[in-house]
Structure 1
Amino acid sequence: MAIFNRDSDDEVARGARAVVVHAETHGLERRDSDARLEEARGLALAIGIDVRAGQAFRVRDRKPATLFGSGQVDQIATLVVQEEAELVIVDNALSPVQQSNLEKAVGAKVIDRTGLILEIFGERAATNEGRLQVELAHLDYQAGRLVRSWTHLERQRGGFGFLGGPGETQIEADRRMIRDRMAKIRKELEQVTRTRGLHRARRQRAPWPVIALVGYTNAGKSTLFNRLTGADVMAEDLLFATLDPTMRQIALPGLDKAILSDTVGFVSDLPTQLIAAFRATLEEVLSADLIVHVRDIAHPDSDAQRDDVLDVLSELGVAGEGALDRAEGEPAAPPIIEAWNKLDLLDPEAEALARETASRRDDVVILSALTGEGVPDLQRAISAKMTAGAKVYGLRIAAADGAALAWLHEHGEVLTSDAQGEETRVEVRLSDAAFARFGKRGQG
């Protein structure tokens, strides 16, 4: 059993007193109990919950009624009394029955991992689209529950989700209200999706590529985004510091302009409701020309976090088997570069090992977004990927079309240029993506 205790001097906690528990099923865990508990503690702190203690329990068979065994439920109840906790956070997915039974058994409100992540997203959504996506996910989660549950900021947010009803009639009314609200949100999001699709199409006609940053939450994506763009996106040592995607223009070696997109961080066991609700946002990754997967190489579970990110990308059809199932004529999945971040946190031995491992791969760059070390290497690696497979094209450009000639010089390697009367014959080396963009210039 792994146990952690709250530092009595912790000034970050500012909300309800809570304990965190985790049901560990032997052979089914990607990471150890200490890491799971610490991550759950970080999730709770992200919305100001005062985590007093945490404990992991080895569960052989998950109990349909309570998830934990009866003796373990008694231990949780004792922990609640000892810590004077108002809330129990179960770092697993709970059925409505399990949640209700645990609340009765331990004498405190209970929220599971899905509910906790939904709370964080509800607090962090800054745009109208983000708020709609979170509300849809929240309602979907609550639709099968309709039991009174604890929620951290419900009164402030004005009341979606976590509904309660004293009798069957009220429950049915609540269910009908949820269904109606979800239908309305889906219609609004369909319009958002169409608008986003138009914006994507316009960007694809523009003369510059799109690079998407993805990664596990708190891997340092926003810090790297700020380093590359000179922007001031929120970048804190806080899970899910970035929720709504941000885009900025950058310059790279050999690429005069590119668009860099900072996306929401992924997490293990990301609720399926959130993946579905945020699909329109996450599909920005699918339309990118290149994906930079930012990894916290100093984290003990870095490999497990990588697998969690790849699982979500695979579900979106960006990586893994899902990327191979595209319909004919659809663009191929974008290439991926791994940015092994937080080099500054490695001890000398670990740094040497990481550098030696990275040197054997052509899709890995090791760096520190915080100090800037290795960032120029990443910029060069991105440019190399973007221009890989470039071909030489022979083009005839109207002599008066100076903009076209300038574009070719900016985005390709002009090998020869021969003015002949009213046209200029050019031999230029361009990537497939750049050549396609050149042909679409001025359309739409």
Structure 2
Amino acid sequence: MNCTQNNKLMQITPETMVVGVDIGSEVHFARAFDFRGFEFSKRAFRFENTREGFNAFDIWVTDLMKRNQKTKTFVGMEPTGHYWYGFGSHLQNMGVEFGMVNPYHVKRSKELDDNTPSKHDRKDPKTIAMLVKDGRYLIPYMPEGVYREIRNLMELRRQNVVQLISIQNRVKRWLAIYFPEFSTVFKKWTGKAALLTLKHFPTPQAVIKTGEEKIVATWKEEVKRAVGHKHAQKLIKAAEESIGLKHGLESAVLEIETLLDEYMIHGHRLELIMQKVEAQVKEIPSASMLLGIKGIGIVAVAGFLGAVGDISRFDAPEQIVKLFGLNLRENSSGKHQGKTTITRRGRSDGRYAIFQAVLPLVARNPEFRQLHLYYINRDNKPLKKMQSIVALCGKLIRVFYAILKTGSHYDAEKMMNDIKRPMMKAA
């Protein structure tokens, strides 16, 4: 990956035409410059986010290149949500190099030309092009094949989990209003007997009306584990002493039926998603070896692969650390020494995936657990617990990188080098 400032500048040569594009939901605007910032077009070129619009852009670029004797084009644009995907895919298919500029940089540098904070369709493409000319851009990665499938599936899983959590909270709210004593009978409302109860006789009034014999018979139809009369008696007693609302029960029953239907739909959908995720992960060489690390599951592996994509595009694990926004930044000036924190710039999904993977490792994996204890208890500059977790995130990234890059198995001995090296120095 050409990540350094010099490498980026080297891609913008005297033969390059730099095109800045302001991406919109339906219409895009472009302006063209040379490597010094001299503009080729008198006005911004307007083109729509359609096949015809992209073809018109190609014709416009080709004409400007011929008139100004340029041999290649480099397109810069601002990542405006998802609206750039279609245009980015078109450029990729046409073999045109393009880069993304940081929206924060655009906002900060747009006043350089006219000293005003104004924003409009003619101004923004120039600001974007000038940032590209100075090498202040990133090369976007558009995953293909199995990596695109995994990224899409993990995003779909995230959305589904959010919906499930929302439904669970709404069910808890419903129970707190209409049947607060339900939790004294069932530890979890998601258990089979609890779900059957909510499905067939959700309110205290319905429980009392149904009676002990019918309640037990309903449970035994689908629950293999015996849920007997004592449990039914406890449920009836809780219903008789319930302080839940006794009005509006018809609409309340409809609400809980709707929530349970949505819960079952999203639960089934999550199972299908994870089946597809497992199948896609198996397609990636060495990915199954990551699952050999004690405490690492399919969600952690797929989350990492979906955010990173093809590991071969990285030259070092530190690039992934920076991609996830886990690299450190220092806040200091003069005599003031501020706190050192992570930048949080980059792919938040990757940062979340690796963070969620490290937490169970600290609890279940002996090597990571021992390393965590060493970091927080060492004599020289001990880390706080959260600082140790962040350090272990970087460690796990390096482990994943080595396994995927070389195809080697997880080596617990190498994991302990951070502890062994200080001991050797002391000896």
Q: Which TM-score bucket, shorter chain as reference?
A: under 0.3
- Structure number with higher helix proportion: 2
TM normalised by structure 1 equals 0.24
TM normalised by structure 2 equals 0.24
- Structure number with higher strand proportion: 1
